[in-house]
Amino acid sequence: MSIKKVVLAYSGGLDTSVCLKWLQEEYSAEVITYTADLGQGKELDPVEGIATGTGAVKVFIEDLREEFVKNYVFPALKAGAIYESRYVLATALARPLIGKRLVEIAEEEGADAVAHGCTGKGNDQVRFDVTTMALNPGLKVIAPVREWDMKSREEEIEYAKKHKIPITVTKESPYSIDANLWGRSIECGILENPWIEPPEEIFETTISPEDAPDKPIYIEIDFISGEPTKLDGKEMSPVDLIASLTKIGGANGVGRVSYVEDRLVGIKSRETYENPAATILFDAHKALEEITLDRDMVRYKEEKISHEYSRLVYNGLWFSPLREAMDAFVKASQKKVTGTVRIKLYKGNCSVVGVKSPYSLYDQAMATYEVGDMFDHTAAEGFIQLWGLPLKIKAAREKK
């Protein structure tokens, strides 16, 4: 199949720059690069120069932060989507958005393929490939790293030199890092040994809990229908709110997670994350749901939605009817998830210390053990007789 024009997901780093040249060489194709600003905090200024210097016919650099938070991060937050109860899916949520833009640009520019720099071992390739298949089955996906036979970083550097790719290869970092507003994912190098504590040098947005201030700090977050809107009483845009929580949480050592994760391709992999804002917001959101959702909704959402939603996002199925249907359910569940949560941050801990809502189902007169108790204790007896009846019948039968 001959490919004339490709849209490449481009970071400006070594891997994707080599991809950019390689696509021109191997496929004799014109390459358009696409770079999304998702709040990764890296300088995006050099990207255009390197891309054009490496032969890109057109360069797109877009700020997708707001769309990312509103349409990807907040739905996942409201769904309670944390993969394997550990990973807040920062990387996984960004892929479908980038993938969607690659497809849209390919359509606008009349390209016949999209391309990405993912390896054949990870989840990210699945997310990009499936997104493309789901949005435009006529487009081909090229993953140069899966195809070429360069085996090491050295060979890539060699290739870059040979083809005069205008990239300054800085001191080699042994880690593979993906970062955006919602969190940073760090893998490889010494981290591959799950017995080794992640070294301090890998962290960027969080300080070590040991070095965090000796005094706790308190913050208040307001939510409307499950979405955070204010920090300490101040209205904030979704992007600013997450950026502020990252600062405050990170300065108190909150949001570090390290665990052995199950990848879709079947391998276990030691992953380290830092995501202060996500840690705080998931805790706060859950606390607010605890007082605003009825018992069955709490149970159903946790058992049937949160885990399924997280797996679906992790496994690259964002653009699926099931995710859309689950979003509709989640939206309906969030109508009354409005209120304020008070949080204490202290040396790596994030604790909810207060919660209130105009829709609170918490009834102190029902709950209290003090005077003013309105709960009908006598009603409990008959209830328990029926509740335990099946076991009572069984036990009586076995006695006979």
User: Nearer Cβ to ligand ARG, position 15 or 222?
Assistant: 15
Of 84, 61, 68, 82, the residue nearest 242 (C-alpha): 68
User: Nearer Cβ to ligand ARG, position 32 or 118?
Assistant: 118
Chain centroid to Cα 211, Å, comes to 26
- Is 86 designated active site? no
Catalytic residue among 37, 176, 342, 360: 176
Catalytic residue among 15, 129, 178, 222: 15
| Residue 113, both tokens | 């393929």
Catalytic residue among 11, 17, 65, 95: 95
- Is 129 designated active site? no
Catalytic residue among 124, 129, 178, 222: 124
DSSP label of 72:
I
Applying CB under 6 A, which residues contact ligand ARG? 91-92, 123-124, 176-178, 185, 187, 261, 271
10 Å Cβ neighbour count for 324?
A: 10
State how far the Cα of 107 lies from the Cα of 125, in Å rounded to an integer.
Answer: 20
Residue 371 C-beta: closest distance to ligand ARG, Å: 53
Outline where the chain has alpha helix (H): 14-27, 45-53, 65-68, 74-79, 90-109, 124-135, 144-147, 153-162, 238-251, 276-292, 295-300, 307-314, 321-333, 364-367, 377-387, 389-399
Residue 261 C-beta: closest distance to ligand ARG, Å: 6
Residue 391 C-beta: closest distance to ligand ARG, Å: 45
User: Nearer Cβ to ligand ARG, position 146 or 347?
Assistant: 146
DSSP label of 120:
T
User: Nearer Cβ to ligand ARG, position 129 or 187?
Assistant: 187
- Is 95 designated active site? yes
| Residue 118, both tokens | 């993912």
Yes or no: say if 246 and 181 are a contact pair by the CB < 8 Å rule.
Answer: yes
Residue 177 C-beta: closest distance to ligand ARG, Å: 6
User: Nearer Cβ to ligand ARG, position 71 or 315?
Assistant: 315
State how far the Cα of 126 lies from the Cα of 319, in Å rounded to an integer.
Answer: 12
Residue 316 C-beta: closest distance to ligand ARG, Å: 9
- Is 311 designated active site? no
Residues annotated as part of the active site: 15, 95, 124, 176
